[in-house]
């Protein structure tokens, strides 16, 4: 069974998603797993390839490619050094295959689509710690995903110790 698990982590390269990624690396991923980072961009803003990927998402992007800021600029994604450090270390220590998949659109729907389309064995997502009122007004991506994804979902609560 080694090597056939696809552990997904929803990332937006924020402190909250880094906590979820770190938690997934420390608690879920095993030697030989595929660690797939799923990121959602708000909309397609360019012509060409990006419009082709609007419904299906980008091709799976290898870690060596998404570590290149010039290439990621093409996708409209700005990675951060801490996230790259976490995935590079995990890939080396646990012999993981790390990939990135980019979707465009509503984060709630696109994360659930990623679960089915990739397909993911499980998903880890961060929680920004919104108050009840904020969740009612803005909606909670993690709450939606927990209730609609077709795989097990772990929500990692964001700590306020920044």
Q: Would you say residue 74 lies in a domain?
A: yes
Asked if residue 42 belongs to a domain, the reply is yes
- 48: containing domain: 6-157
Q: Is residue 84 part of a domain?
A: yes
162 in any annotated domain:
no
**Tokens encoding 143:** 């709450």
pLDDT band at 95 (very low <50, low <70, confident <90, very high): very high
Number of domains in the chain: 1
User: DSSP 3-state assignment of 97?
Assistant: strand
Mean pLDDT of the region 111-126: 96
pLDDT number for residue 71: 86
Q: Is 98 inside a domain boundary?
A: yes
Asked whether residue 55 carries a pLDDT value surpassing 90, the answer given is no
Q: Judging by beta carbons within 10 Å of its beta carbon (0-12, 13-18, 19+), is residue 35 exposed, middle or buried?
A: buried
133 within domain boundaries: yes
pLDDT tens track for 77-93: 889 999 999 999 999 99
Where helices occur in the chain by DSSP H, the ranges are 15-27, 49-52, 63-66, 69-75, 81-94, 107-117, 132-138, 141-148
CB neighbour class for 107 (10 Å; exposed up to 12, middle 13-18, buried from 19): buried
Is residue 1 in a domain? Answer: no
106 in a structural domain: yes
- Give the CATH number of the domain where residue 107 resides: 3.40.50.620
pTM for this structure? Answer: 0.87
């Amino acid at each position: 069974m080694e090597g056939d698990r696809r552990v997904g982590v929803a990332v937006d390269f924020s402190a909250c998603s880094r906590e979820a990624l770190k938690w997934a690396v420390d608690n879920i991923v095993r030697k030989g797993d595929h660690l797939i980072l799923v990121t959602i961009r708000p909309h397609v803003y360019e012509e060409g390839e990006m419009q082709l990927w609007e419904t299906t998402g980008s091709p799976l992007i290898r870690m060596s490619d998404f570590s290149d800021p010039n290439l990621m600029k093409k996708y409209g994604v700005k990675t951060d050094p801490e996230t790259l450090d976490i995935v590079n270390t995990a890939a080396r220590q646990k012999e993981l295959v790390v990939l990135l998949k980019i979707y465009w659109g509503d984060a709630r729907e696109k994360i659930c689509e990623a679960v089915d389309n990739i397909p993911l064995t499980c998903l880890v997502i961060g929680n920004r710690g919104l108050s009840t009122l904020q969740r009612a007004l803005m909606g909670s991506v993690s709450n939606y995903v927990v209730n609609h994804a077709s795989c097990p979902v772990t929500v990692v609560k964001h700590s306020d110790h920044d």
